[in-house]
Amino acid sequence: MKRKKLILYHTNPLQFGGVDTFDYNFCKKMRDKYNILFLYKDGNLDTIRRLQKLNIEVEKYNSNKKYVCDICLLASAWGGYPETVIAKTGRYIQMIHADYIRAKETGFVYEKWSKTTEYVAVGKHVTSVFKKLYPKEKVTTIYNILDDRQETHHVLKLISATRVSKEKGYDRMLKLAQALKEHNIKFRWIIFTDLELYQQKPFDLEEIVYMKPSHDIFDYIVEADYGVQLSDTEGYCYFVNECLQYGTPVISTNYPSSYESIEDGVNGYLLDMDLSNLDIDKIVNSIPNRFNYIEKGNTTDWTKLFNKRVYIPKIKYEVIALKDYIDKRPELIIDDAFEHNDAGNAIIRKNNIYYLYDQDRARELLDTGYVKIEKIKEGK
**3-state SS track over 238-294:** HHHHHHHHCCCCEEEECCHHHHHCCCECCCEEEECCCCCCCCHHHHHHCCCCCCCCC
Q: Which residues pair with 347 in a beta bridge?
A: 326, 339
Paired strand residues for 73 = 8, 93
What sign has the CA pseudo-torsion 6, 12, 14, 19? negative
Domains in the chain, CATH or no CATH each: 5-141 (3.40.50.2000), 156-285 (3.40.50.2000), 314-379 (3.40.5)
Per-residue pLDDT for the chain (380 aa), expressed as one digit of tens each? 789 999 999 988 888 888 899 999 999 999 999 999 999 998 889 999 999 999 999 999 999 999 999 999 999 777 778 999 999 999 999 999 988 888 777 777 777 888 999 999 999 999 999 999 999 999 999 999 999 999 988 999 999 999 888 999 999 999 999 999 999 999 999 999 988 887 777 788 999 999 999 999 999 999 999 999 999 999 999 999 999 999 999 999 999 999 999 999 999 999 999 999 999 999 999 999 899 999 999 999 999 989 998 776 677 777 777 777 776 554 444 455 566 676 667 777 777 777 776 777 777 777 777 777 766 665 54
Closest C-alpha among 14, 5, 103 to residue 56: 5
The percent helix, strand, coil of the chain (3-state, each to 5) is: 25, 25, 45
